A and B are shown apart, each in its own frame.
Chain A
Amino acid sequence: MHPILAEFLEHWVWPTAPGAGGAKFRLRLTEEKCIPGWQGLVTSTVRELETGQGAGEDWKRRLALEGYAAEGVQFSIKQMSAQLMSISIEDQARWIDVQRMRARQVWDECKHSKLHVDSLSGHGWIKHERELMENVEANFQPLSSYFGQGMMFAHIHPLARNAQHYFIEAGAYLTICIYDQMVEDRLVRHQHLSQKAEELMHFMEGKYQIDTFCTTPETQKIVEETLDWVLAFFQGKV
């Protein structure tokens, strides 16, 4: 097992709050399904970086463009749309928290966008962010989004997304840890800086919600089915 994954498991996965009713279920999912997935991700990221870094600078440009497409400002609109699907039109107008959440989401995505722009402009590949509006590479992404409709397809139940919180966000955190360890370019490291804490926070939210709320066969079924769907997606089976 890669040391970064081993450390992650030791520090963040195995510790469990006393009395957490869903912990046993979470730990079974972790051992049976998550760890093999995380191991595969870690191995492929290390391999990609070993190969990519030896092949010049272009991988950094593509990484930033893909990042911008995945987290660009335009992406926040998609995320907000998915978030708001479960809230009635009447309630959307009624609750200031919902409006605040939308504003926060825009800010969050803008911040991510800027970090990718920092890398692109810092390396001299673009002069200004406006250029990205006309670059298809910076505006197309096939990924399942964080709160996105793809990930919510399997279940609309609020607990279902914890499969994604727990599995996907841990993967993102691990990937960033590997970049931190293997990449020396300060612009690429900067690009990932704020993400690291954010992904870990998302993972911990999933862990907390599974441990706390997934305590019955019904709620556990929802999370496990969604996790199976996520894993099948990444294996190219759906």
Chain B
Amino acid sequence: MKVAIDYARCNACGLCREVCPESAIHPKYLEIRHLYEVDPERCTGCGDCLEYCPAPGALVQSG
């Protein structure tokens, strides 16, 4: 199980990035807006980010 971001709901607060124990979430490189993305190779699916995300539905579990 991995995590993905729904950009229609994400408010780019960055909290998911702070709590991710694997640093699997980072802003899109070379993108000046703060759009975060999940590195599927690092994401272990632990769900810590889901627990802290303040924007309902912004972080979703994906296959």
Which chain A residues have a beta carbon within 8 Å of chain B's beta carbons? Answer: 114, 117-118, 121-122, 126-129, 186-187, 189-190, 193-194
B29 shortest CB reach to chain A, Å:
4
| Separation of A128 and B26 alpha carbons in the complex (Å) | 11
Interface flag for B32 (CB, 8 Å): yes
Question: Do most interface residues of chain B lie in helix, strand or loop, or is the interface mixed?
Answer: loop
Chain A residue contacts of B26, Cβ below 8 A: 118, 121-122
B27 shortest CB reach to chain A, Å:
7
B1 shortest CB reach to chain A, Å:
20
Fill in one digit per residue for B22-53: 1 if any A CB lies within 8 Å of its CB, else 0.
11001101101000000000000000000000
A121 shortest CB reach to chain B, Å:
4
Chain A residue contacts of B30, Cβ below 8 A: 186, 189-190, 193
Is B22 touching A127 in the complex (CB atoms < 8 A)?
A: yes
Which chain B residues have a beta carbon within 8 Å of chain A's beta carbons? Answer: 14, 17, 20-23, 26-27, 29-30, 32
| Separation of A186 and B27 alpha carbons in the complex (Å) | 13
7 tightest Cβ-Cβ pairs between the two chains A and B = A121-B23, A190-B29, A128-B23, A190-B30, A186-B29, A118-B26, A186-B30
Chain A residue contacts of B20, Cβ below 8 A: 128
Q: Which of A114, A126, A128, A187 contacts B29 (CB 8 A)?
A: A187
Chain A residue contacts of B21, Cβ below 8 A: 127-128
| Separation of A193 and B29 alpha carbons in the complex (Å) | 9
| Separation of A219 and B17 alpha carbons in the complex (Å) | 47
Chain B residue contacts of A194, Cβ below 8 A: 32
Is B29 touching A118 in the complex (CB atoms < 8 A)?
A: yes
Chain A residue contacts of B17, Cβ below 8 A: 114
Chain A residue contacts of B23, Cβ below 8 A: 117, 121, 126-129
Chain B residue contacts of A187, Cβ below 8 A: 29
